[in-house]
Every structure is written in structure tokens, then in C-alpha cells.
Amino acid sequence: MISVSTIVNGVLLGGLYAVIALGLSLIFGVMRLVNLAHGVFVIGGGYLSYLVTTHLGLDPLVSLVLVAPALFAAGYVAQRAVFTRLVLRGTEPAMVATFGLMLLGHGAYTVAFSSNPKTLSTGYSNTGFDALGVRLRLVDVVGLAFGIVLTLAVWVWLQKTRSGVAVRAAAIDPGAAETVGIDVARMYALAAGVAGALAAVAGVIVGIGYSFTPTGGIAYLTIGFTVVVLGGIGSVAGTFLAALVIGLAQAVGGAVFGPVYQLLCVYALFVILLAVRPQGLFARRAHT
């Protein structure tokens, strides 16, 4: 049965999906690269935060001060050292390389942390409150807040800053960008670094609100990929709106047809919407 609670929970879930999908959308928009290792970065954010909170006693959200820069660096270095060379030869080799990185991540996490699930336990992991006559989870509200703020931040960065404009230029026409003095390889690495930092935020929220395992990133990659394609390739605003659509579809589908059908509803809607609008729901211009 659809209730106010169902709608609100769908929107909140969409906020988390937006955080998960933003980094994926950024890399796809800039390099046309489907980063299959994105889920590994998300889960990596969870594991890094787990280490920081365990050893330094920091709150998981505070741990982002260390974890986000670490994954920014990881994304930047990986792009600079490996993926840019491959992207310049065509995106298929680079995509296969991200697949390899994903498998490598699964193995490394299993060796380091075992296959048992981990959570980022804090006082607010399971805190709820009443608003609008609905019982809400604090971490879900935090996830939506991050989704809104990060979407705006990425949009402002791409539209209003010198480095953001350079990244867009490198995305639209790398050759022309080079001729006007833009270091395209550096812009690609910058975009990958930002995507890594965004994945870190997603991983920490997932760890606080849910749990994570070495191979758990595949589920988040799948949902992120769905959001990006539905939103329109490279559209930051479209990514956020599509995430809300997916979150709502999951919550409403589960409420109407039962829990077992909630993801089926998501992907059925995805197929129908793409059949009607193959370019994605919100794709008017890329990188906006």
C-alpha cells in the first residue's frame, strides 16, 4: 500500500543512490568511460573509514576528512598511471581494465578484511525521528542531504570554476582543448579523483546505514549504472533526478507488489523509460 511513508522513504533512498551514481556519471560524462571499478571505490570508502574509525576512534562522517582525500588520490593516480593511456586508445580497453580493477579489489578486500560483512557503527546508525507524521532514519536524511549538496557542488564546479570548465572542454573535444593549453590528461585525472572522493562519501553512508562486503560493490555499481543511463549520460542534474525516480520506483514497487518485486519494478521501469526516451530522461546537453 502506498503511503506518505513509502514516498518519503523512496525519496530518501534516491538521495543515497544519487551519491553513489555521481562519481560514475562524472567519469562517464568526461571520458565516456564506464568505470566498472566504481563499486570497488564505494566499498573501499567503507573499509577505509572502518580502519580510521577503529584505530583513531573518529566518527565515520568525520573520517571523511581522511577517507575522501585518500580515494581522491587513488582515483587520480590510477587514472594518471593507467586509464588515461588506455582511454586515448579507445574506451573499450579502459573499460576492460576497470573490470580487472574490480576483480582485483574484490580479492584484496577479502584477503584484508575477510568475506564477513562490516558496518560503521555510530550512535546515529540506528537513530530515527518523527517528521511529517513519518518515522525517518537519520542516516537516510543525511544521505539525501549529501546527495543534494554534492550534486550542487559538482554542478558549480563544472560550470563556474576554471578547472571545471577545463574538464568540460577536455570532455567535449580533447584535441581542441590541448590546442588551447589544457592538460587533458590532468583534467581526466582530476575528474577521476573527484569521482573517487564522491565514492568515498557513498561508501561511508552505506557503511553507516547498511553494511558492506568485499563484493558488495557490484550491487551499488548496478544501481549507479541504472541511474546514470536513465538520467542521461553526463548530466549531473539528470543523475540526481533519476536517482530519485529509481528510489521512488523501488519503494512504491515494493509497497504495491511486495518486497520480492521491488527491484524487478525498478528495472521494468528502466526498460520502459529507455524505450520511450533512449537518450535518458534528462539528457538535453552533456556535462550540465
Residues at the site binding another protein, with contacts judged by CB under 8 A: 3, 5-6, 9, 13, 32, 34, 36, 91-92, 95-96, 99, 102-103, 106-107, 109-110, 114-119, 121, 125-128, 135, 137-140, 209-216, 218-219, 221-222, 225, 229, 233, 250-251, 254-255, 258-260, 262-263
Nearest to 27 by CA among 239, 207, 217: 239
8 A C-beta contact, residue 207 and residue 119: yes
Choice between 140 and 168, CB closer to another protein: 140
Min CB(127)–another protein separation in Å: 6
Choice between 229 and 243, CB closer to another protein: 229
Nearest to 242 by CA among 7, 15, 34, 6: 15
Choice between 182 and 269, CB closer to another protein: 269
Min CB(233)–another protein separation in Å: 7
Side chain identity at residue 221, one-letter code: L
Choice between 122 and 163, CB closer to another protein: 122
The grid cell for 166 is 577545463
In sequence order, which ranges of 79-216 are alpha helices (DSSP H)? 84-88, 91-113, 138-160, 162-172, 174-179, 184-209
Residue 213 CA to residue 285 CA, distance in Å, equals 37
**b or e along 157-176 (b: 16 or more beta carbons within 10 Å of the residue's beta carbon)?**
bbeeeeebbbbbbbbeebee
Per the listing, cell 574490480 goes with 102
What does R_g of the chain's alpha carbons equal in angstroms? 18
Min CB(216)–another protein separation in Å: 7
8 A C-beta contact, residue 224 and residue 17: yes
Q: Which stretch of DSSP H or E encloses residue 253?
A: helix 236-257
Choice between 119 and 163, CB closer to another protein: 119
Choice between 72 and 109, CB closer to another protein: 109
Choice between 182 and 244, CB closer to another protein: 244
Min CB(162)–another protein separation in Å: 29
Min CB(88)–another protein separation in Å: 15
Min CB(99)–another protein separation in Å: 5
Residues paired with residue 131 on neighbouring β-strands, in sequence order: 134
The grid cell for 51 is 580502519
Min CB(139)–another protein separation in Å: 7
